[in-house]
Structure 1
Amino acid sequence: MQVKAAVARSQGQPFSIEQVELDAPREKEVLVKVLATGVCHTDLVVRDGLLPTPLPAVLGHEGAGIVEQVGAGVTKVKPGDHVVMTFNSCGTCPSCEHHDNSYCHDFFPLNFFGTRPDGVSPISQNGESVSGNFFGQSSFATHSLCNELNVVKVQDDIDLALLGPLACGIQTGAGSIMNALQVKSGSTVAVFGTGSVGLSAIMAADICAATTIIAIDMNDERLELAEELGATHTINPSKVNSTEEIMKITGYGLQYALDTTGIPAVIRGAIESLAPKGTCGILGASGPDAEISFNETHFMSGGRRLMGIVEGESNPDTFIPELIRLHQAGRFPFDKLVTFYEMDQINQAIEDSEAGKTIKPIVKMS
Structure 2
Amino acid sequence: MIEARAAVVLEPGAVPQLTDVQIRPPVGDEVLVRVAAVGICHTDVSVSARFPAARLPMTFGHEGTGTVVEAGPDATAAMGQQVVLTFASCGECANCSEGAPAYCDHSTGLNMRGDRGDETSALRLHGTPVAGGFFGQSSFATHAISRPANTVVLPEPMPPELAAPLGCSVQTGVGTVLNALALAAADVLAVFGAGAVGLSAVMGGRIAGCRAIVAVDPVPQRRALAMRLGATAVIDPVDGDVAAHLIEVTGGGATAAIDTTALPDVIATALTCLRARGTLALVGLGALSAALPVGLIMGRGLRVRGVVEGDSDPHVFIPQLAQMWRRGDLPLEELVTTFSFDDFGDAWHSATTGGAVKPVLVMRPDR
For normalisation by structure 1, the TM-score amounts to 0.95
Structure 1 pair 143/50, CA: closer, same or farther in 2 (3 Å)? closer
Tell me, yes or no, if the aligned pair for 2:172 and 2:308 is still in contact at 8 Å. yes
- Once the two structures are superposed, the pairs formed by residues 117-156 of structure 1 within 5 Å of their partners are 120-156=120-156
Tell me, yes or no, if the aligned pair for 1:270 and 1:280 is still in contact at 8 Å. yes
Question: Which residue does the alignment assign to 2:45?
Answer: 44
Tell me, yes or no, if the aligned pair for 1:10 and 1:47 is still in contact at 8 Å. no
Question: Which residue does the alignment assign to 1:365?
Answer: 363
State the 1:120 CA deviation.
Answer: 3.5
- The residue identity in structure 2 corresponding to 1:24 is P
Question: Which residue does the alignment assign to 1:31?
Answer: 32
Local SS of the residue matching 2:73: coil
Structure 1 pair 52/319, CA: closer, same or farther in 2 (3 Å)? farther
Local SS of the residue matching 1:174: helix
- Cα deviations by residue, 1:286-341 (Å, 9 ceiling, x for unpaired): 24xx3221221211121100000101111111111111111111111011110111
State the alpha-carbon separation in 2 of the partners of residues 18 and 91 from structure 1: 33
Tell me, yes or no, if the aligned pair for 2:137 and 2:146 is still in contact at 8 Å. yes
State the alpha-carbon separation in 1 of the partners of residues 317 and 349 from structure 2: 30
Q: How many residues align?
A: 363
State the alpha-carbon separation in 2 of the partners of residues 357 and 125 from structure 1: 31
State the 1:207 CA deviation.
Answer: 0.3
Local SS of the residue matching 1:109: helix
Question: Which residue does the alignment assign to 1:354?
Answer: 352
Tell me, yes or no, if the aligned pair for 1:46 and 1:52 is still in contact at 8 Å. no
- The residue identity in structure 2 corresponding to 1:302 is R
Give the stretch that moved more between structures: 292-301 or 110-119.
110-119
Tell me, yes or no, if the aligned pair for 1:62 and 1:165 is still in contact at 8 Å. yes
- The residue identity in structure 2 corresponding to 1:98 is E
State the 1:242 CA deviation.
Answer: 0.7
Tell me, yes or no, if the aligned pair for 2:69 and 2:80 is still in contact at 8 Å. yes
State the 1:198 CA deviation.
Answer: 0.3
- The residue identity in structure 1 corresponding to 2:21 is V
Tell me, yes or no, if the aligned pair for 2:41 and 2:169 is still in contact at 8 Å. yes
Tell me, yes or no, if the aligned pair for 2:13 and 2:51 is still in contact at 8 Å. no
Question: Which residue does the alignment assign to 2:63?
Answer: 62
- The residue identity in structure 2 corresponding to 1:312 is G
- Once the two structures are superposed, the pairs formed by residues 167-246 of structure 1 within 5 Å of their partners are 167-246=167-246
State the 1:52 CA deviation.
Answer: 8.6
Tell me, yes or no, if the aligned pair for 2:83 and 2:151 is still in contact at 8 Å. yes
State the alpha-carbon separation in 2 of the partners of residues 150 and 52 from structure 1: 27
- Cα deviations by residue, 1:119-164 (Å, 9 ceiling, x for unpaired): 8321112342211111111111111100011100003432133201
State the 1:89 CA deviation.
Answer: 0.3
Q: Which runs of 5+ in 1 are unaligned?
A: none
Aligned residues: CA RMSD: 1.7
State the alpha-carbon separation in 1 of the partners of residues 169 and 227 from structure 2: 20
- The residue identity in structure 2 corresponding to 1:114 is G
- The residue identity in structure 2 corresponding to 1:184 is A
Question: Which residue does the alignment assign to 1:295?
Answer: 293
Question: Which residue does the alignment assign to 1:329?
Answer: 327
Question: Which residue does the alignment assign to 2:271?
Answer: 271
- Cα deviations by residue, 1:24-64 (Å, 9 ceiling, x for unpaired): 11111011111110011111112211579922111111000
Give the stretch that moved more between structures: 178-187 or 78-87.
178-187
- The residue identity in structure 1 corresponding to 2:36 is L
State the alpha-carbon separation in 2 of the partners of residues 197 and 262 from structure 1: 12
Structure 1 pair 260/317, CA: closer, same or farther in 2 (3 Å)? same
Question: Which residue does the alignment assign to 1:248?
Answer: 248
Structure 1 pair 257/52, CA: closer, same or farther in 2 (3 Å)? farther
Give the stretch that moved more between structures: 185-194 or 47-56.
47-56
- Once the two structures are superposed, the pairs formed by residues 153-172 of structure 1 within 5 Å of their partners are 153-172=153-172
Local SS of the residue matching 1:3: strand
State the alpha-carbon separation in 2 of the partners of residues 16 and 246 from structure 1: 43
Tell me, yes or no, if the aligned pair for 2:62 and 2:137 is still in contact at 8 Å. yes
Tell me, yes or no, if the aligned pair for 1:53 and 1:131 is still in contact at 8 Å. no
State the alpha-carbon separation in 2 of the partners of residues 102 and 120 from structure 1: 25
Structure 1 pair 341/53, CA: closer, same or farther in 2 (3 Å)? farther
